[in-house]
Amino acid sequence: MEQTNKMEQYELGYHIRPPHGLLNDPNGLVYYKGIYHVFYQWNQTDTTHQSKSWGHMTTKDFIRWETHQPALEPIDWYDRDGCYSGSAVVFEEKMYVFYTGNVRGKNGERKSYQCLAISEDGIHFEKKGPVLEHPIKGYTAHVRDPKVWQGKDGNWWMILGAQKEETLTGDALMYQSTNLIDWSLTGSLMDEPLSLGYMWECPDVLRFDDKDVFAFSPQGLTAEGEKYNNIYQSGYFTGELCDNGKFIRDHQPFKELDYGFEFYAPQTFKDTGGRTILYAWVGVMEPKLEAAVPTRKSGWLHALSIPREVTYEKGKLIQYPIAETTHLRETKSVVSKSIQDESFTLSSLQQDILVEWDAAATDFIIYLRNEIEINYQASNKKITVVRTNWLTNVKEERTTFLTQDLMELRLLIESSMVEIFLNKGEEVFTLRYFTSEMNHSFNFKYLNRKVEKTITGYTLRSFIVKDKS
Ligand code: FRU
C-alpha cells in the first residue's frame, strides 16, 4: 500500500478548515456588496478551546476563496476571554456584526456581553462594545450567540441562547430594536415551560413563506434510542413567530438536523436570491475524542460543513448542498447503470457520488474505504451509518428512519469527512473518520433483492484559496 504523509492523508480540499489552530462555530454568515462572508470561531494559536477570535473568509462562487485578517480579536475588557459566536446583518450599506464578549473573573466566574462591531468594507471592523446589559433577572451568565434579523415591519430582532437560573434549563431570549443599537427585551421566545437540556446554544430563526422554524443547539439531552446520541445536538421546532416575539410551536417533537456524529452549532442566512443557506461546525465531540483527532499533530482541528440550502417541506427541513457545489465537479469518475453489486476504486478521495434508483431502493450496504458502512433496510426505511471510533477503535453507529422510500443517496467524500444526503436532503449524516489505510474502495452490495440503480461519481476539485490577511 502506498504510504503518504499524515498531513496529506487527512487533508480537506473543499471544506473550510482553519489554516492552523482550532475552528468551531460558523459565525456572521452574510451576503454583503456582492460577496459571501463566512466567519468562524477560531483559536489561532492552539488546537484547544481558548482565546477565540473570528476567522474570516470570503467568496463570490463558493470555489475561489480569500482569507482575511481575523475580523475580531479578544483584546478588549468586554471580550478578553473570547469573541464568541454571533451573526451579521447589512443596514444602510454597513455590515453590523453582533457577538458575545466572554470574560472570566479572577475565580473563573463568567460574564457575557453582547457586543457590536461595524464595518464599511466588510474587511475592517470597528468595535462598538456591549449593546446589552447582563445578567438579566432570572438568568445565569450563560447568555450568548446573538442572531439578528430584520422583521417584516423593518424592525430588528435578536435571539440569544440562555439558561434559566431557577431550573438551570436552556431557554432563548428575544430582543427588539429599531436602530440595531438600542435593544429592549421582549422575553422568552416560548411561553410554555420546556425542559430540553441545561443550555441552548446558537439559536436561529428561519423564515419560509408559510412557516417559521426555531433552530438551536441544546446541551444536556439524554440519549433516547436512536435520538440524541452525540455529546450535544442541533435541531429545531417548526411553528410561527408572532409579531410580539413569541414563537408558537407546532405539535411536533424536537427534530435533529443531522443524524451523523459531529454536526453542531449550525447558522443560516438568506442571500439576495432568497435562499436560506446553512453552515455547521463539524464538529462537536467528546473532549477525549477531540484530543485524539490526528490532524492536531499537523496543527489544525475541525472544519465547517458544506453549505446547504435549506427548504421547508411538509413539516420538515430539507438540506441539500447548494447548487454551486456542482461547480466543484471536475471529471466523471464513475458511471454505472446496473442491477449488480458494484466495486470501484475511487480516483481520488474528493468525490461527489450519487446513487439513484428508478423505483424504491431495496436492502443494501455501501462500504466506503473499508471503513464506513451505510446500511439500508427497506422494510422500515432504516438507515444506519457505521464508522470506527478513532480513540477506542470500536465501531459505532447512528441510525434514523426515512419517511419516504429511498430513491437517491448522495455522498460528499473527503479523506477524513463524509456528508451523506438521503432523498435529496430529507435526512443527512455528517461525520469525520480517520483511517490509516490509503484504501480508495467503494463497494455497493445488495443484501437480498437486486433492483436497477445508477451510480454516478465525480472527482471534486479543491478550493482555490488566496491569503489576503
Ligand atoms: C458553541 C459555542 C457557543 C459559543 C462558542 C464559543 O459551540 O459554545 O455557544 O459562543 O461555541 O467558541
| Per-residue pLDDT reduced to its tens digit, 142-157 | 999 999 999 989 999 9
pLDDT of 408 strictly over 90:
yes
Amino acid at 52: K
pLDDT of 2 strictly over 60:
no
- Percent share of the chain, pLDDT over 90: 94
Sheet holding 126-132, edge to edge: 83-91, 94-104, 110-119, 126-132
86 CA distance to ligand 1 middle (Å):
9
Amino acid at 231: I
**CB of residue 24 inside a 6 A radius of ligand 1:** yes
Which residues 6+ apart lie within 8 Å of 46 measured at CB?
Answer: 21, 22
CB-based contact 355:369 (threshold 8 Å): no
**CB of residue 216 inside a 6 A radius of ligand 1:** no
Cis peptide bond prior to 253, omega within 30° of 0: no
Which residues 6+ apart lie within 8 Å of 351 measured at CB?
Answer: 333, 411, 412, 413, 457, 458, 459, 460
Confidence of residue 18 (pLDDT cuts 50, 70, 90): very high
CA 274, distance to chain mean position in Å, is: 20
Confidence of residue 3 (pLDDT cuts 50, 70, 90): very low
Report the candidate in 107, 103, 109 with the shortest Cα–Cα distance to residue 77.
103
**CB of residue 41 inside a 6 A radius of ligand 1:** yes
207 CA distance to ligand 1 middle (Å):
23
Q: Which atom of ligand 1 is nearest to the CA of 85?
A: 10
25 CA distance to ligand 1 middle (Å):
7
Element (H, E) at 104: strand 94-104
**CB of residue 369 inside a 6 A radius of ligand 1:** no
Q: What secondary structure letter does DSSP report for 6? A: H
CA dihedral 439, 441, 442, 447 (to 10 degrees): -100
**CB of residue 202 inside a 6 A radius of ligand 1:** yes
Number of other residues whose CB lies within 10 A of the CB of residue 189: 25
Report the candidate in 389, 386, 413, 383 with the shortest Cα–Cα distance to residue 397.
386
CATH superfamily of 21-323: Glycosyl hydrolase domain; family 43 (2.115.10.20)
Please tell me the distance from the alpha carbon of residue 463 to that of residue 203, in angstroms, as a whole number: 29
Confidence of residue 193 (pLDDT cuts 50, 70, 90): confident
Cα separations in angstroms, 68 against 50, 124, 125, 268, 397:
21, 10, 12, 21, 38
Q: What secondary structure letter does DSSP report for 7? A: H
Q: Which atom of ligand 1 is nearest to the CA of 161?
A: 9
Number of other residues whose CB lies within 10 A of the CB of residue 240: 12
Q: What secondary structure letter does DSSP report for 232? A: B
Q: Which atom of ligand 1 is nearest to the CA of 100?
A: 10
**CB of residue 280 inside a 6 A radius of ligand 1:** no
Longest dimension (CA), the chain: 67
The pLDDT assigned to 257 comes to: 98
252 CA distance to ligand 1 middle (Å):
27
Q: Which atom of ligand 1 is nearest to the CA of 201?
A: 9
In the chain, CATH 2.60.120.560 covers 330-467
C-alpha cell at 152: 417584516
Amino acid at 80: R
**CB of residue 219 inside a 6 A radius of ligand 1:** no
Amino acid at 186: T
Confidence of residue 322 (pLDDT cuts 50, 70, 90): very high
In the chain, CATH 2.115.10.20 covers 21-323
Please tell me the distance from the alpha carbon of residue 212 to that of residue 62, in angstroms, as a whole number: 27
Active-site hit among 25, 79, 145, 352: 25
391 CA distance to ligand 1 middle (Å):
24
> If you take atom 9 of ligand 1, which residue's CA is the nearest one?
201
Please tell me the CATH code under which domain 330-467 is placed.
2.60.120.560
Q: In terms of pTM, does the model score above 0.95?
A: yes
25 is catalytic: yes
